[in-house]
Amino acid sequence: MTSAPQHGVTFDMLLETMRRLRDPNGGCPWDLEQDHESLRETLLEEAYEVIEALGSGETPLLVEELGDLLLQVVFNAQIGKDEGRFDMGDVITGLNTKLVRRHPHVFGEEEARTASEGIGQWEKVKAAEREAKGEGKRSMLAGVPKAMPALAYASTVLGRVRRAGFDWDDPDAIFDKVAEEVRELNEATSDKRREEELGDLLLALAGAAVRMGVDPEGALRGANARFYERFEMVEAEVRAQDTTLAAMPTDDKLALWERAKAVE
């Protein structure tokens, strides 16, 4: 039986709940066994579930998934406290300090009249931070986790270099680049070359998405969802005809696909 939600719960109460779960005297055995490494996959999973909830439009689901993601932050902070290295106070203080420092147009004397100018201020402060750490020669892309999904990684790094001024003057040049990569893919004659050219094409498409202000990861996720729904309709029609996809003529399958698109 699920208990009713407790309204009026404070952040400190949440931290105390987590502390008790990790208490060697009476805590949860499973929670006590966890460390930063064991929680890595769960953290990633919860982040993806938040992304899915964002696209669902269901407010209760989004609230629940954001809570699950917050749990991962609280959990890791408690592990840090148990090990005597850091606690949630350090996490919050570091975050708040960073937000204030990277928004001089809000908390300082700088000005930013547009979102792009605000992002420019952010990047300028980040560059100064790298310089202060002795990392002035470190690439501005070095902080982007290479473990990110490839499409999301491409979108992030291309967005960064574009904000830094590494971009075409002609807004349509990126589409010429896409056409060029399609042509080179068609001309590739070896498996290795085809793989390379396909990668270049995907990167160019990610660049086009950045130029248009579209999240390519979200766009592909939407396309995946549409494909899933259409294919389900096709499968239902195939079953209704008491046959299989393998046995059905190609023209008939294409007709079912177009019918599914029309229904959508």
pLDDT higher at 227 or 169: 227
Q: Say whether pLDDT at 5 is over 90.
A: no
Decide if pLDDT at 2 tops 50: no
- Looking at the chain, the whole-number percentage of residues with pLDDT higher than 90 is 64
Which alpha helices (DSSP H) does the chain contain, by range? 11-21, 29-33, 40-56, 59-82, 88-101, 104-107, 115-132, 150-163, 173-187, 191-212, 216-240, 250-263
Q: Is the pLDDT of residue 3 over 60?
A: no
Averaged pLDDT, 210-235: 92
pLDDT at 146 over 90: no
What are 148-203's pLDDT values in tens digits?
889 989 999 998 888 778 888 888 899 999 999 999 999 999 999 999 999 999 99
pLDDT at residue 212 tops 70:
yes
Question: Could you tell me which CATH number the domain at 11-100 has?
Answer: 1.10.287.1080
Q: Domain ranges for the chain, please list them.
A: 11-100, 218-263
Contact 118, 131 (CB under 8 A): no
Read off the pLDDT band of 14 (50, 70, 90): very high
pLDDT at position 65 is: 96
More confidently predicted of 137 and 178: 178
Lowest mean pLDDT among 10-19, 81-90, 156-165, 178-187: 156-165
CA distance 260 to 263: 5
User: Is the CB of residue 148 less than 8 Å from the CB of residue 189?
Assistant: no
pLDDT score for 31: 97
Q: Scanning the structure block, which residue is given the tokens 């964002």?
A: 54
pLDDT averaged over every residue in the chain = 90
Query: What confidence tier does 6 reach under pLDDT thresholds 50, 70, 90?
Result: low
What pLDDT is stored for residue 22 in this prediction? 97
Please choose, from the candidates 229, 209, 212, 211, the residue with its C-alpha nearest in 3D space to the C-alpha of residue 220: 209
Low-confidence winner among 12-21, 125-134, 156-165 (lowest mean pLDDT): 125-134
pLDDT of residue 1: 42
CA pair distance 66, 55, nearest whole angstrom? 13
Q: What is the pLDDT confidence band of residue 56, given thresholds at 50, 70 and 90? A: confident
